[in-house]
Amino acid sequence: MKIELLSLDEIDPCQLAIHANDPLVNRYLKNSFPFPYTLDHAMRFITHSLEHNALDFGIVVDGICIGCVGATFHKDVFIKNCEIGYWIGSQYWGLGITKRVVKMFCDYLFSHFTITKIYAEIYSENIASCHVLEANGFQKEGYLKKHVYKNNNYHDLIIYGLREEEYEY
């Protein structure tokens, strides 16, 4: 299985839309990630990301775009940190793809940017994503009870962190 992280101008927006339009994927994402997810949403996301030089990549497996991974860099006193987020189509869950993608992305971030920490915010019930981060050396750093409100329900949020000094390339 060949896994690549490609610039969004190299991916098929139709494939992106197909995998994003999945309630199983959407349930753990922010409300800014629309559902249902259409081809128009995919095109607007790609255009916005490219126009704003966002650090977003398509996750491509054997030539098919199955999801995205991205980083948000912060300013002011948080300038040495970045937050990552990722998702893949549910039919690709459980194959070890996300674990490899997070490893590839962390390698890229630590080697290309002057950051000392990468973190991720995960809904507590998203056990698979917690395992992905822990397998890549992330540690639980915080637990915020009823911090997220999505689909008329409150969710706890776990903050995971990975410090460069502890990272194994």
Q: What is the pLDDT of residue 152?
A: 95
- Reported as a single tens digit per residue, the pLDDT across 122-158 is 999 999 999 999 999 999 999 999 999 999 999 999 9
Tally of CB atoms within 10 A around 57: 25
154 — phi, psi (to 5°)? Answer: -90, 145
| Predicted confidence (pLDDT) at residue 169 exceeds the cutoff of 90 | no
Q: Can you list the domains of the chain with their CATH numbers? A: 3-166 (3.40.630.30)
- Reported as a single tens digit per residue, the pLDDT across 64-73 is 999 999 999 9
| Predicted confidence (pLDDT) at residue 168 exceeds the cutoff of 90 | no
